[in-house]
Amino acid sequence: MTVTLFPLRLMMAAFMMLLAWPFAFFATLGRSETTIEPQTLWRKFVDVMLKTLMRAMWFSGGFHWITVKGRLAPPSEAPILTLAPHSSYFDAIPVTMTMASIVMKAESKDIPLWGTLIKYIRPVFVSRSDQDSRRKTVEEIKRRAKSEGEWPRIMIFPEGTCTNRSCLITFKPGAFIPAVPVQPVVIRYPNKLDSITWTWQGPGAFKILWLTLCQLHNKFEIEYLPTYTPSEEEKRNPALFAQNVRRIMAKALDVPITDYSFEDCQLAMAEGQLRLPSDTCLLEFARLVRKLGLQLDKTGHILEDYGMRARKLHGNRVPLGEFPRFLDVPESDLIRDMFALFDEHEDRTIDIREFVIALSVVCRPAKTLETMKLAFKMYVDEVDSSITEQELACILQTALGVADLTVTSLFQAVDAHGKGKITFELFQSFAELHPDFAEEFLFGEKRVIRHPSQPAATNGFCTDFTPPDHKKLD
């Protein structure tokens, strides 16, 4: 198929895109991206032509029959379509079928040929260089969604990334903040051989294209579920709105749901010097941090403030009643769940330094030395600015989210002169000379598992916590 069917299909698909380009180009000439465009006869003609050419393009790629179930609601009834699961760039098929607007990065409009077709559907562009882009995107979605059908419907993949379709991950709130009715849409690829899935650790884009075009026939199903109108409570709480819509879509797909998200995968696979082990409790901690509403990309200055306040406590444990005040949030079940992660003695007190270290790892998983620097500031002896082996064990156990970890080899390697204490400058110099120090000195050793009757020698972060049995994401 690689030397026969593949090149033929590739040329046919490219030819259809070339035929579609002039229609999209002339339709977008002189058009404003912010004003409503009347649905003129010319616009209707271009819509029909582009839908026809795009359908021919997918046909030439092996998507001969597309099964459609349910009814597509008009924009006035459901201005937002939520699609899931998102697993491939072939998920663009529903976009070309409906010519709905989508949310995508601004750089996409500069792609030759494809960029012109993208601009025709009037997407909501997200600029990575604009720090205020997230707020502007939400405001633009609100403006279009509340135009009473004058703007084209908006199609959003609320998962925010590609998964392997084994479950539905946490929905991002963007599609639900406008608090307008949405139509859930589920998509399926019931093929015997999966050549479709394109996840961030799976095959590359070209390999997926090659394998798919080599198949004689590719099945695709799209199902429009009934429009979901939010309640007053859901209008006030976009997260609840998203959860309820996700539950309906998961039931239609007959797949489980998980409260973990793409950010959890990033945390687990972060390319820092401290790679998280598979049994880490930091993933559960990260989930609670997100539910608490902390914006992980804006907590740099907050971490420094937490660190200074934690240092002043000199290791004195903080009771449950003072924990919400430390975070400046009201007491809640969520706060109590987070507190329980660090309450290793079950005496309703925690070492707040452990919380700060864990938060630093979640906020900046690839910046190991920044987390270690913050930790050293909280643990160092004020006389000589150094820490002991036991304190290093506390720091690394919390940074990795594990209960048992032997750090003797690492500490002795850093403490070359045998002083029994190390400074951050000494640790930093060692880490720069040994960038793989964790693999060499920590993970290479056999982890000692305590008997339940033995007291913890150092930190007990997550010792008695068993995270929910969520499915892993590939």
Per-residue model confidence as pLDDT tens digits over 194-241 = 999 887 677 888 999 999 999 999 999 999 999 999 999 999 999 899
Say which residue the tokens 């046919």 belong to: 12
Q: Answer with the one of 257, 286, 319 that is the final residue of a domain.
A: 257
Residue 473 has what pLDDT? Answer: 38
Residue 34 has what pLDDT? Answer: 66
Q: Give the C-alpha separation, 436 to 442, whole Å.
A: 10
Residue 217 has what pLDDT? Answer: 94
Exposed / middle / buried, residue 188 (Cβ in 10 Å: 0-12, 13-18, 19+)? middle
Q: Is the dihedral of CA 456, 462, 465, 467 positive or negative?
A: negative
Residue 456 has what pLDDT? Answer: 36
84 and 68 within one domain:
yes
Identify whether 454 is part of a domain. Answer: no
190 and 74 within one domain:
yes
Residue 270 has what pLDDT? Answer: 73
312 and 219 within one domain:
no
The count of structural domains within the chain is 2
Q: How far, rounded to the nearest angstrom, does the alpha carbon of residue 321 sit from its chain's CA centroid?
A: 32
387 and 301 within one domain:
yes
Residue 275 has what pLDDT? Answer: 75
Candidates 184, 203, 196; CA nearest to 248 is 184
Identify whether 292 is part of a domain. Answer: yes
Q: Are strands 154-156 and 101-105 parallel, antiparallel or unpaired?
A: parallel
Structure-token pair, residue 188: 């399926």
39 and 79 within one domain:
yes
Residue 39 has what pLDDT? Answer: 67
Identify whether 473 is part of a domain. Answer: no
232 and 145 within one domain:
yes
Q: Supply the Cα-derived Rg of the chain in whole angstroms.
A: 26
Range of the domain at 72: 5-257
249 and 117 within one domain:
yes
Q: Give the C-alpha separation, 177 to 293, whole Å.
A: 15
Candidates 82, 94, 73, 307; CA nearest to 189 is 94
In this prediction, the residues of the chain whose per-residue pLDDT falls under 70 are 32-39, 128-131, 200, 294-299, 444-474
163 and 298 within one domain:
no
Please spell the DSSP secondary structure of 272-339, one letter per residue.
SSSPPPTT-SHHHHHHHHHHHT--GGG-HHHHHHHHHHHHHTTTPPEEGGGHHHHHT----HHHHHHH
Asked if 81 and 183 count as a contact pair (C-beta separation under 8 A), the reply is yes
Exposed / middle / buried, residue 193 (Cβ in 10 Å: 0-12, 13-18, 19+)? exposed
30 and 179 within one domain:
yes
Residue 294 has what pLDDT? Answer: 66
427 and 336 within one domain:
yes
Identify whether 302 is part of a domain. Answer: yes
Residue 464 has what pLDDT? Answer: 39
Identify whether 291 is part of a domain. Answer: yes
Identify whether 471 is part of a domain. Answer: no
273 and 247 within one domain:
no
Q: Answer with the one of 220, 242, 257 that is the final residue of a domain.
A: 257
Identify whether 468 is part of a domain. Answer: no
Q: Which residues contact 201 (CB under 8 A, 6 or more apart)?
A: 269, 474
366 and 339 within one domain:
yes
Identify whether 466 is part of a domain. Answer: no
